[in-house]
Chain A
Amino acid sequence: MKQLLVLSGKGGTGKTTIASAFIGLSEAKAYADCDVDAPNLHLVMNRFKGPERTDYYGLPKAEINLELCIQCDLCRQNCRFDAIDVTDNYEVDYYACEGCGVCQAVCPSGAITLNPVVAGELKLYLDDSVFSTAQLKMGSGTSGMLVTEVKKQLKDSVNDDEIAIIDGSPGIGCPVIASVSGVDMVLIVAEPSVSGISDMERIIITSVRFQTKIAVCINKYDLNQNKTMEIEEYCREFKIPMVGKIPYDPIVVKTVNDGKCITEVDCIAGRAAIGVFEETMKVFNNYNDGR
């Protein structure tokens, strides 16, 4: 399975809009949404048959058995995450607890247990194409692990020679790192703004460590031609392939709100996305550039 991952650094640059366009254009039989915190791809992919659902267990959480608790305070004193609350009773703060087990280890009366906790749900849509996605329960950590599960679920259901398109998440932290691992190419969707460029640089720095192919495209480029040129210059300087740019198109909002891909309707963004797709595939399929 050859994987193309769409990232951005900054949120709201158009990852999902572009990923969905690429899925249509490549006729990919395998795709995934690794933005497990705020998944959106399913809103434009229109799967009719319901998915297989699997509970995702994150970090276990500590629980205090009040009947055994002698209120010695050792758990609270040793908890590094401020996860033990004391009111009338000692209680674990579910969201702050990181499942480290220290409280269980120091408790003299065996009142504390670590219990598995459902931190999200994996969904796998299977019919003529495979769509793997998940939703992390809010307030949860371990998003990286869930991302890994989304990719594993995809891989286990797909033939080796398929192309898989993966919609990523904003940021540069754990879920992003988990999604980059093992992919063949990262396409970064950049926004022509001061924030967008700053974030783009940080995601590029994060991605290069993985020695994967990287390319950049610019979305809504005509909103700031100067910043667009800055991005193009940056890519030239650091020898990062620039695979094209897409103009701002007011029709996109309506298209997305109708649950459609931009390549399913006649619009300038859709047409430009086709060009970006073709250039991206050239980079993706070129194995002779010393990967």
Chain B
Amino acid sequence: MTFIPAFMDMEVSNMKIAVLSGKGGTGKTLLAVNLAAIAPESVYVDCDVEEPNGHLFFKPDIHSTETVYVKIPEVQASLCTGCRQCVEFCKFNALAYINQTLLIFDEMCHSCGGCELICPENALSEKDKSVGRIQIGTSDNVTVLTGIMNTGESSGMPIIKELLGNRSLDEELVFIDCPPGSSCIVMESIRLADYCILVAEPTLFGKHNLQMVHELVTLMDKPYSVVLNKCVEGDNPSEKFCIDNNIRISGRISFDNELGTLNSNGMISARVQSEYQSMFESLLQEILKEASHETVVSSKR
């Protein structure tokens, strides 16, 4: 891998770059994985904990796995008087009082701790419930953090929070691979980002969803730019959206059968073919240049 002197001049350590898209399948993982692979040293964090894919490309040597827990209540039946204050309090209907027994519904519980606080008899305490896990490993120059939500769980929020709080991210160049959409889990994934890359495809669907994440990063005051992926001939509604709204386009990746095939086979294109290595190097350089500039200019970090 060529050593890129330009990196030496940039304050790129301790920068977190989030890759998001709104629409699924536009190329977030393609971009986040390849940019992380191309940088001299980096951390790749997979926040798409429902359907994590980055690890399929990196195939990292895993050196630690941590279970992610949330707290759920448990009752000491002998102390419970059946006053039902906890049942009335719980906004998520996780508690019911039936046949003189307090029933606790784990999956409804949001771990707010309210029932325990409310109980006048101190009959409620907390226990751990596993909702997923985090795997930490390495693949050459990249530290790979993968969050995996257990199937059947409703929300990956606790896992995303754990991922982004992990020490491995400190003082490093970090690429955050975000979930699709613009809901609370995406918001959480970009909360600590210094810079956001919005990946867009040239379809009406792509443009529609680009609009949504554009709104999100604007709301959260994050510096950002767009990478147009899978570009083909003809009108590109996403490109037009960027031009019409004065949005910086950091790069354009053409629809490329070979790139698609390498990607579909789980290969990191930048590592296996020099033309893609060059392509992602230029893209990374462009993005880091803008990101350093933007984060100096912007007062919020």
Q: Give the B-binding residues of A (Cβ under 8 A).
A: 9-13, 16, 37-38, 40, 43-44, 59-60, 78, 80-81, 95, 98-102, 105-106, 136, 138-141, 143-144, 169-174, 177, 191-196, 198-199, 202, 205-206, 209, 223-224, 226-227, 250, 253-254, 256-257, 259
- Collect the chain B residues with CB atoms within 8 Å of residue A105's CB: 89, 114, 117-118
| Contact between B209 and A40, CB atoms less than 8 A apart | yes
| Contact between B110 and A98, CB atoms less than 8 A apart | yes
Q: Give the A-binding residues of B (Cβ under 8 A).
A: 22-26, 29, 50-51, 53, 56-57, 89, 91-92, 110-114, 117-118, 149, 151-156, 179-187, 201-205, 208-209, 212, 215-216, 219, 232, 234-235, 237, 257, 260-261, 263-266
Q: Offer 28 A-B interface pairs, CB within 8 angstroms, sorted by A.
A: A12-B25, A16-B205, A37-B182, A37-B183, A38-B212, A43-B208, A78-B117, A80-B112, A100-B112, A100-B114, A102-B113, A140-B184, A141-B183, A141-B184, A170-B51, A171-B51, A173-B50, A173-B155, A173-B156, A191-B25, A193-B263, A193-B265, A194-B53, A195-B264, A202-B51, A253-B203, A253-B234, A257-B235
| Contact between B204 and A138, CB atoms less than 8 A apart | no
Alpha-carbon distance A11/B92, docked complex (angstroms) = 29
Closest to A227 in B: B264
Given A10-B24, A102-B114, A172 and B51 touching (CB < 8 A)?
Answer: yes
- Collect the chain B residues with CB atoms within 8 Å of residue A223's CB: 257, 260-261, 264
Q: Which of B114, B186, B187, B216 has the most CB of A within 10 A?
A: B114
Alpha-carbon distance A80/B186, docked complex (angstroms) = 19
- Shortest Cβ distance from residue A9 to the other chain B in the assembled complex, whole angstroms: 6
Alpha-carbon distance A174/B153, docked complex (angstroms) = 8
Closest to B261 in A: A224
| Contact between A257 and B151, CB atoms less than 8 A apart | no
Given A141-B184, A171-B50, A256-B205, A194 and B264 touching (CB < 8 A)?
Answer: yes
- Shortest Cβ distance from residue A168 to the other chain B in the assembled complex, whole angstroms: 11
Main secondary structure of the interface of B (DSSP, over half): loop
- Collect the chain A residues with CB atoms within 8 Å of residue B118's CB: 105
Alpha-carbon distance A43/B110, docked complex (angstroms) = 35
- Collect the chain B residues with CB atoms within 8 Å of residue A253's CB: 202-203, 232, 234
| Contact between A12 and B23, CB atoms less than 8 A apart | yes
Top 8 A-B pairs, shortest CB-CB distance: A11-B24, A12-B25, A193-B264, A194-B266, A100-B112, A37-B181, A174-B154, A195-B53
- Collect the chain B residues with CB atoms within 8 Å of residue A198's CB: 51, 53, 56
Across the interface, B113 reaches (CB within 8 A) one of A10, A80, A172, namely A80
- Collect the chain B residues with CB atoms within 8 Å of residue A195's CB: 29, 51, 53, 56, 264, 266
Alpha-carbon distance A174/B50, docked complex (angstroms) = 10
- Collect the chain A residues with CB atoms within 8 Å of residue B51's CB: 9-10, 170-172, 195, 198-199, 202
4 A-B pairs besides A141-B183, A174-B154 with CB distance below 8 A are A11-B24, A38-B182, A138-B215, A194-B265
- Shortest Cβ distance from residue A281 to the other chain B in the assembled complex, whole angstroms: 25
- Shortest Cβ distance from residue B156 to the other chain A in the assembled complex, whole angstroms: 6
| Contact between A257 and B204, CB atoms less than 8 A apart | yes
Alpha-carbon distance A155/B126, docked complex (angstroms) = 40
